Amino acid sequence: MTISVGIVGGTGYTGVELLRLLCQHPQVRLHVITSRSEAGQRVADIYPNLRGRLDIAFSAPDIGELCQCDVVFFATPNGIAMESAPTLVEAGVKVIDLAADFRLRDPAVWQKWYGMPHKCPDLLAEAVYGLPEVNREQIRKARVIANPGCYPTAVQLGFLPLIEQGLVDTGRLIADAKSGVSGAGRHARVDVLFSEAADSFKAYGVPGHRHLPEISQGLAAAAGGAVGLTFVPHLVPMIRGIHATLYANLKDPHGDLQALYEQRYGNEPFVDVMPAGTHPETRSVRGANLCRIAVHRPQGGDTVVVLSVIDNLVKGAAGQAVQNMNLLFGLAETTGLEQVALLP
């Protein structure tokens, strides 16, 4: 099988990460990579890491060309994918959106957080949230996949075993999460300049971050009802990585939490439950489509602390999108995604 792939918006960090993974994928043929700003430029001239791996130029978006693909990835700003997705779906093309256009089930909630009306609520209603560890079977049959955000991936994977088993007070969940600067995207902005972000550490989005409703939606589905979540993101002076430290109050402090996590994720190829007492590091997942998790109960009390780390550009974005593509086309889920993390 050869999968013909299109990428809309291939010049950002998520786009080039998609290219890095897909050019090594044994079943993929990259048909078209669009960029309005870089049309006509060779991809490898802008991203020299792809020299010798990818012999294609960026082109202006052309819906006719995209309709010739088997699957189209949108690595675009919010609000772009929903403009073209109906036409692509009608043409039989699978759509995987790495932005937020199809993540929130309620169009009114979408408009509240993203400041624009949703342009295809019917397609939104059928879109599948692409967290394979939860929705694997639905993903296989989907026409539109909403690839999860980076913070939501780390936070949900960390909390899910506890919530699914009803072991914690879901009214008082806390997610304290840190991200590298690449999470802000590849564009000029003062607060992510080297001299602004280096040697510093700050919280942001405390009154409300756009990933909050996405995380709450996923955790509520697992809980079977609304959850109370305090989510505080932070910017740390590193390029890649997310570290989520998650807190919840146990209803019964006597259960074997280590066994719970090992059982829940024992057959998941991209979730690694660390040995008891360990502390996963972001560098241990750099460049890999992997979430590493450790679970702690400090001083044997009734507070559980879960540590969850991912590479925000891989399991938090492009790698998870390729994982979803593999499921869509009946391939082994790990195809093209068995890269070992980079150290140092």
CATH number at residue 46: 3.40.50.720
Answer yes or no: pTM beyond 0.75. Answer: yes
Distance of alpha carbon 23 from alpha carbon 13, whole angstroms: 15
Do the Cβ atoms of 231 and 280 come closer than 8 Å? no
Spatial neighbors of 175 by CB under 8 A, at least 6 apart, are 151, 155, 158, 159, 215, 229, 230, 231, 232, 244, 245, 246, 247
Do the Cβ atoms of 168 and 251 come closer than 8 Å? yes
Average of per-residue pLDDT across 218-223:
98
Tell me the DSSP string of 90-138: HTT-EEEESSSTTT-S-HHHHHHHHSS--S-HHHHHH-EE--HHHHHHH
pLDDT at 11: 87
Is there a single domain that holds both residue 112 and residue 216?
no
Asked if residue 319 belongs to a domain, the reply is no
Asked if residue 76 belongs to a domain, the reply is yes
Taking only the tens place, the pLDDT of each residue in 25-43 is 999 999 999 988 888 899 9
The DSSP bridge partners found for residue 5 are 30, 71
- At position 154, the amino acid (one-letter code) is A
Asked if residue 61 belongs to a domain, the reply is yes
Number of domains in the chain: 2
Structure tokens at 25: 């994928």
pLDDT at 192: 83
Taking only the tens place, the pLDDT of each residue in 235-285 is 999 999 999 999 999 998 888 999 999 999 999 999 999 999 999 999 999
Structure tokens at 331: 């391939």
Taking only the tens place, the pLDDT of each residue in 94-144 is 999 999 999 999 999 999 999 999 999 999 999 999 999 999 999 999 999
Is there a single domain that holds both residue 114 and residue 171?
no
Q: Which of 69, 120, 150, 291 is catalytic?
A: 150
150 is an active site residue: yes
Q: In what order do the strands lie in the sheet with 71-74?
A: 28-34, 3-8, 71-74, 94-97, 144-146, 128-129
Asked if residue 328 belongs to a domain, the reply is no
Which residues span the domain enclosing 277?
Answer: 151-312
Indicate the residue among 110, 126, 142 that finishes a domain. Answer: 126
Asked if residue 330 belongs to a domain, the reply is no
Average of per-residue pLDDT across 81-104:
98
